[in-house]
């Protein structure tokens, strides 16, 4: 998958721009606060359906404007596709190849990208929710139906928690309703668990291989997805749904006392270990960087294995965080893939094989420059 162009209007500090990208490496070069990340945010909106910075439309709309519009044009399986998003006041339109889409989630799954930004370096040491988010975003791009299971789960969880809270306080007693939520939750949990389990089984292999190469055979990376059923294997959805059902109905006493749901996929963990030691507890700064880099590269490889095409890699300010060896490994190991990277020093790309397109970013405006190696 390769991006051809991106048009932006009224987005963040970008008044109007039409950018074209190299099929290999494009470097958005500029000082801080000039609009580099804004471009990646716009691109990634089409992959994830929402801002990776958690911004709402009003925040992404240029100050003083009524709305913004974005059009992304890319090649997919040798065909040209176009996605567009236009926000005006409270109304929003999304289109794929000119055809209106009803919901934002319908955007997800057409254009696919792997994003790596400095915040992701926290993934190893941060809370389990960060690792769950990583899995969820990656899975949703490969299996868009995952989003509907996930939304169903989130909605039921919220309602079930509100009910448990009311029961805890004694203001409401609703056993029947609790049962309805528990069954719906068990069904969605079983779907999500199986997707995550399957995804991690694929990711694990690729990530371990990347880490092995990156560390010249010194580090063994291992991933495991851990949920409520330690040691038990469920491959079949019905059996799993029954197991979740049991979990949600047999423990209501405790849950009512706690006023919340104590089991389920919202508490699961992606456990990462390096050469036998828990990465969360023991990985050094350098090891954390290598782990995250391995996970991101593996994310792209699994995406390619599942969809038949490499996603676009968006690297925000992270190249300068990686040492030369890791940088070279990354850019030479992924030849044939499209990279859009940002930074304030073009020296980070001195090792890149082939041609790099440099776009200079200044106060929301862009000047293109071809860089002959
Ligand atoms: N809604 C907005 N309207 C206008 N400017 C904005 C808006 N949101 C952010 N900005 C500006 O965008 C700039 C930050 O852009 P960003 O892409 O994060 O910078 P960087 O080049 O460091 O990645 C800041 O100058 C900020 O004031
Ligand atoms: Mg930035």
pLDDT of residue 274: 97
- To test ligand 1's pocket by mutation, which of 9, 19, 33 has the most ligand atoms within 8 angstroms of CB? 33
**Owner of token pair 């779907």:** 191
Rounded CA separation 155/30 (Å): 42
pLDDT by position in tens, the chain (length 373): 999 999 999 999 999 999 999 999 999 999 999 999 999 999 999 999 999 999 999 999 999 999 999 999 999 998 999 999 999 999 999 999 999 999 999 999 999 999 999 999 999 999 999 999 999 999 999 999 999 999 999 999 999 999 999 999 998 888 999 999 999 999 999 999 999 999 999 999 999 999 999 999 999 999 999 999 987 888 789 999 999 999 999 999 999 999 999 999 999 999 999 999 999 999 999 999 999 999 999 999 999 999 999 999 999 999 888 888 888 888 877 778 999 999 999 888 887 777 799 999 999 999 998 654 4
Q: The domain 121-308 belongs to what CATH superfamily?
A: RecF/RecN/SMC, N-terminal domain (1.20.1050.90)
Rounded CA separation 14/139 (Å): 31
317 within ligand 1 shell (Cβ under 6 A)? no
The CA-atom distances, in angstroms, between 113 and each of 62, 109, 142, 353 are 25, 10, 10, 22
Of 258, 255, 129, the closest CA to residue 181 belongs to 255
Q: Which residues contact 361 (CB under 8 A, 6 or more apart)?
A: 28, 29, 30, 34, 35, 36, 39
Separation of CA 361 from chain center: 25
pLDDT of residue 373: 47
Using CB atoms within 10 A of its CB, is residue 319 exposed (0-12), middle (13-18) or buried (19+)?
A: buried
Can you tell me which atom of ligand 1 is nearest the CA of 31? 21
pLDDT of residue 121: 92
The Å distance, Cα 363 to ligand 2 centre, comes to: 13
pLDDT of residue 329: 84
pLDDT of residue 172: 83
Nearest C-alpha to atom 11 of ligand 1 is from which residue?
A: 13
58 within ligand 1 shell (Cβ under 6 A)? no
For the chain, where do the domains classified as CATH 3.40.50.300 start and end? 1-112+312-373
Rounded CA separation 276/254 (Å): 35
pLDDT of residue 371: 55
37 within ligand 1 shell (Cβ under 6 A)? yes
The Å distance, Cα 75 to ligand 2 centre, comes to: 26
Within 10 angstroms of residue 280's Cβ, the number of other Cβ atoms is 18
12 within ligand 1 shell (Cβ under 6 A)? yes
Nearest C-alpha to atom 18 of ligand 1 is from which residue?
A: 37
Using CB atoms within 10 A of its CB, is residue 32 exposed (0-12), middle (13-18) or buried (19+)?
A: exposed
Fold of 1-112+312-373: Rossmann fold (3.40.50)
13 within ligand 1 shell (Cβ under 6 A)? yes
The Å distance, Cα 287 to ligand 1 centre, comes to: 32
First CA to last CA across the chain, in angstroms? 24
Rounded CA separation 175/170 (Å): 13
**Owner of token pair 């055809």:** 99
For the chain, where do the domains classified as CATH 1.20.1050.90 start and end? 121-308
């Amino acid at each position: 998958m390769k991006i051809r162009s991106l048009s932006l209007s009224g987005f963040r500090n970008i008044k109007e721009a039409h950018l074209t990208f190299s099929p290999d490496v494009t470097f958005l070069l500029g000082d801080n606060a000039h609009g580099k990340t804004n471009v990646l945010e716009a691109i990634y909106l089409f992959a994830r359906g929402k801002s990776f910075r958690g911004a709402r439309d009003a925040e992404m709309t240029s100050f003083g404007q009524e709305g913004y519009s974005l059009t992304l044009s890319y090649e997919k399986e040798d065909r040209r596709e176009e996605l567009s998003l236009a926000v005006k006041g409270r109304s929003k339109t999304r289109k794929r190849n000119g055809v209106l889409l009803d919901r934002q989630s319908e955007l997800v799954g057409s254009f696919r990208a792997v994003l790596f930004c400095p915040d992701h370096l926290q993934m190893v040491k941060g809370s389990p929710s960060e690792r769950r988010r990583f899995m969820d975003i990656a899975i949703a791009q490969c299996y868009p139906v995952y989003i509907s299971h996930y939304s169903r789960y989130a909605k039921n969880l919220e309602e079930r928690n509100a009910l448990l809270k009311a029961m805890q306080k004694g203001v409401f007693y609703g056993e029947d309703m609790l049962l309805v939520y528990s069954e719906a939750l068990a069904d969605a949990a079983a779907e999500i668990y199986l997707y995550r389990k399957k995804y991690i089984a694929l990711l694990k292999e690729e990530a371990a291989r990347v880490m092995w190469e990156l560390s010249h055979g010194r580090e063994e990376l291992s991933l495991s997805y851990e949920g409520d059923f330690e040691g038990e294997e469920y491959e079949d959805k019905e059996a799993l749904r029954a197991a979740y059902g049991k979990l949600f109905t047999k423990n209501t006493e405790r849950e009512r006392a706690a006023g919340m749901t104590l089991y389920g996929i919202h508490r699961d963990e992606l456990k990462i270990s390096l050469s036998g030691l828990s990465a969360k507890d023991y990985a050094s700064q350098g090891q954390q960087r290598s782990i995250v880099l391995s996970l991101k590269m593996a994310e792209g490889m699994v995406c390619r294995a599942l969809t038949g095409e490499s996603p676009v890699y968006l690297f925000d300010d992270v190249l300068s965080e990686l040492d030369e060896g890791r940088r070279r490994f990354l850019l030479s190991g992924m030849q044939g893939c499209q990279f859009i990277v940002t930074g304030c020093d073009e020296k980070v790309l001195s090792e890149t094989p082939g041609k790099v397109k440099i776009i200079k970013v200044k106060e929301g405006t862009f000047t293109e420059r071809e860089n002959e190696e």
